[in-house]
Amino acid sequence: MPRRRTGRRLWFVAILRIVKRTASAVWFGAARTGDGMIMSHSGALDQVPYVMASRFTANPGTSPEELLAAAHAACFTLTLCTALSQAGLAPTRIATQALVSFREVDGVWSVSASHLEVRAAVADIDAGAFADVALAAKDSSAITRALRVPVTLDARLDLDRVDTPPAPYADDSGADDSGAEGSGADAAKP
C-alpha cells in the first residue's frame, strides 16, 4: 500500500513557455529621402508604410514611437483588466492612451518617457482603490518593464459609463502634447 504524505503539496512539472512575437521592417533608400514598411508575423501590420518625416513632423504615416505607444497602451490595458478581473470586478470599459516622448538626449534621439492616461468604467470600486490597482498594473505591465524611461500614469474612474456600452476613447483631459516630463500625475486620484 502506498504511503500517504500529509502536509505536503504535490508539485507538478510545469512546462515553461516562452512566447515570441516577430515583426520586421524594410527600408529603401537614404534616411531622409527613403521610405520603408513594417510587417508583423500575425498580419496585423501588413506592409505599413513609414518615412523619416513621420517621426519628426505631423506627416501621415506611422513611426516606431507611435507603435511603441500603441504597444504600451494595449499591454497596460490588458494588465489592468486582468488585475481588476482577478479582484472579482467586471470592467465595462477601459480606454488607455499612451503618450511616448521622443527627444534629443545628449545628442542622440531617444524615447525619454511614456505617460499613460486611463479612463475606466468599473462598478463596485472607489477611485482610490482603482488608482492603486492601476498603479500596480502600470508597474507590472510587460512594456513598462521593458522601457528604461520614466512611466507616469493618470488613472480615473468614469462612473457615468459603468452601465453604458463602450464608445471610442476621446481625450477630454485638455492636456497639451508637450510630453510626459513634469506631469507628476502618477496615479492621480480624482
Residue 60: band (very low, low, confident or very high) from pLDDT cuts 50, 70, 90 = confident
Mean pLDDT value across the chain: 82
Which stretch of DSSP H or E encloses residue 91?
strand 91-105
In this predicted structure, what is the pLDDT of residue 86?
Answer: 96
Total-model pTM: 0.74
Domain range 63-166+180-190, its CATH number among 1.10.3720.10, 3.30.300.20, 3.30.70.980, 3.90.550.10: 3.30.300.20
| Residue spans per domain, the chain | 21-57, 63-166+180-190
CA 185 from centre of chain: 17
In this predicted structure, what is the pLDDT of residue 148?
Answer: 84
Mean pLDDT, residues 80-99 taken together: 97
Which CA distances in Å does 125 have to 83, 133, 144, 152?
13, 10, 24, 22
